[in-house]
Every structure is written in structure tokens, then in C-alpha cells.
Structure 1
Amino acid sequence: MEKTVDLDEIDRKILRELRRDGRLSNAGLAEKVGLSASPCWNRVRRLEEQGVIEGYTVLLNQQALGVPDTVMIEVTLDRHDDDTFARFGQALADMPEVLEAYLLTGEYDYLIKVAVAGTAGYEEFLRRKLYKLPGLRHSRSTFVLRRLKQAHSPEP
């Protein structure tokens, strides 16, 4: 289990600002949190080294990329051994349509979030990719009508 890092209020301000805008310059960040540039940079580096900041990324617009629809798929596997989970999980990780995949407790083994182009794109994903994976016993799908909230990390 990973160790929890103690954060003071300035650390939390830094994280909130970077969460809003990961491209914020160090000078801009320092101004927003009330520090000079050097101490701000040192704090950001420390947060990175401690693993609080895991990385920086860009968010892409699904609509602009031609895959405007999101489908949530619940999957049950026919076997529950380590090899089946490993192979199925790796296959999901290799599919570009899969945005997120979670191993679950409960009735279903996985929850998979995919980006597709309408029902035709979804059918193609099912037939050409998901249904060809060994070990899949059952799936249930739901199209997302609207995203109400999107966060990529918790509020610090």
C-alpha cells in the first residue's frame, strides 16, 4: 500500500491550479498560489518526486476525433484465474477504443468505457474486437447520453 503524503494548504493550492491548467507556467503558478518562482518550482518538483503528481497530459475531444459516443460495457468472464484476467486485461489495454477499464467486485468482472462512432461503430467494436477475446462469457452495454462531470483526479 502506498504511503499517504502530507500536504499543506500551499501544496493543495498548487495541485488545484495544475488540475485546472496543467500547462500553467511556473511563474503563473507561483503568482496564483502566492509564492515566488523558486519555492514554487521546488514544491512542484517535490510533489512529482513523491508521486502526488503522476504526470501531465492532454485531453482530446472525442467528437473532433470522430468517436463522439461513449459506451459503458459490463463484462463477465467464464473463468476467474490469474492467466484469464491477465490476458483479458492486456487485450483491453491494447484496444484504442477502450478509454478506461476496471476490474470489479460483484456481478460483473469488468467495467469498460469505450469511444465509438454511433451504433455502427459500437457493433464493429463488439464483433471485431470484444467478442473475439477468449474468456468472455457475457456482456451488457449502456450508451452514455450525456457526461455530467469529468474529473481525472480527486480534488486535493
Structure 2
Amino acid sequence: MPADANLNTHALAQLERNHEALMALCLVLEEIAFALPSDVDRDACLRASQIMIPLLQQTHQVEERILFPDFDRNAGSHFAATLIERLKAEHRCDVLTCEEVSLTLKAMAERPDIPPEQAVRYMLQGFLESVRRHVLSEKLIIEALLVAEAEGREVLA
């Protein structure tokens, strides 16, 4: 999709699917964190480690190519650009953290000796809370765009 694509039904459906998959991933990560140290589901760790990076990157790509430009065009404020840059910076941080979490989960799936339980628990909980907050923020942006469009006004007007 081109960078200037509008937020349409197809893009909304794709974002919704990705957001649901990210929230489901958060539940899996939460279960892994609570199961530490003795009841680690190695299959769940491996599956999560394999899907999390592509899922997060695909979601970010749709957001940055469609959602953010549409928000910028329809916001009616110079603050939109600042907000978008902040969200893109969060995307970069999320990807780096996701890579670390993925490597940790892969190690937990492959070896019986897991890294320090408390450190892994904090890592997982920090990441999943960040993802949940990010998904909620972007759902609020989508809602604001849809309401503003229905009312024929700018988002931040």
C-alpha cells in the first residue's frame, strides 16, 4: 500500500487482526511469566519466540504506512506530527525489546536452565504492558479518526 493510503476497511481489518494477535501474545507471555520458574511451557516459549517479531513488525508497518499518515492529514494540528514521531520512536524501542524477549524465550525453550526467574518475569511483564499500552493508544487514534470523519471535522479540532 502506498504511504499516502487512507485508512480504509481493509487496513482497519488488518490492524484489528494484528492488534488482536498482539493482545493474545500478551496473554501467552503473561502465562509464561506466571509459570516461572518450575512450570515453563517450552512449546509456548518457542511458538511465541517465532511469531512475535514478524507480528510486531507487520503491525508497525501498517500503522506507519496508513494509520499515521491518515492521522497527520486529518488531525488539524501540528501536534499530530509530534505524536507520530513519538509513536515511531516507541516502535523502534518495541522492536529492540521484542528481539531480546524472543531470544530469551527461545533459550528457555531449548535449555532446561532458564535465565534468572525474576529478570525474565520483569522482562516479559514490561514488554507485554508496553505492547498493551501501544495497542490501546493506536485504537484510540483509529476511533478518533473514525468519529472525526463521521462528524466531518478534523480530529484535534
Q: Same fold (TM over 0.5)?
A: no
**TM-score, with length taken from structure 2:** 0.24
Higher relative contact order structure (alpha carbons within 8 Å, sequence separation ≥ 6): 2
Structure 1 or 2, whichever has the larger Rg, is 1
Structure having the higher helix fraction is 2
Structure having the higher strand fraction is 1
**TM-score, with length taken from structure 1:** 0.24
